[in-house]
Amino acid sequence: MVKSNPHGVIVERTSMFDHDPIARSVGDMMAANWNVTFNFVGPDPYTKRVFYGSIVIKDGKATVK
């Protein structure tokens, strides 16, 4: 999904230590040349952590690891 429609992937920070809780699309962050890494868990970060990964945005490109 990040590759085919980055504007359709919305990142919402859930950390209580984060100073920017606003949800943003990966496509918007790529267009703004952010350099940031988002770690994620799923299928539900609060109740069921089965898989883990990260979205790395650097120099206008996004990579999922």
Positions of E strands within 1-65: 10-11, 24-25, 36-44, 48-58, 61-64
How many separate domains does the chain show? Answer: 1
In a domain, 1, yes or no: no
* Beta-bridge partner residues of 51: 42
pLDDT score of 20:
66
Q: For residue 4, count other CB atoms closer than 10 A to its CB.
A: 7
Let me know the angle formed at the C-alpha of 5 by 2 and 26, rounded to the nearest 5 degrees.
55
Q: pTM for this structure?
A: 0.78
Question: Has residue 19 been placed in a domain?
Answer: yes
What are the pLDDT digits (tens) for 1-44?
Answer: 999 999 999 888 777 776 666 788 999 999 999 898 988 889 98
Residue 59 belongs to domain spanning: 6-64
By DSSP bridging, strand 10-11 and strand 36-44 are unpaired
- Tell whether 17 is covered by a domain: yes
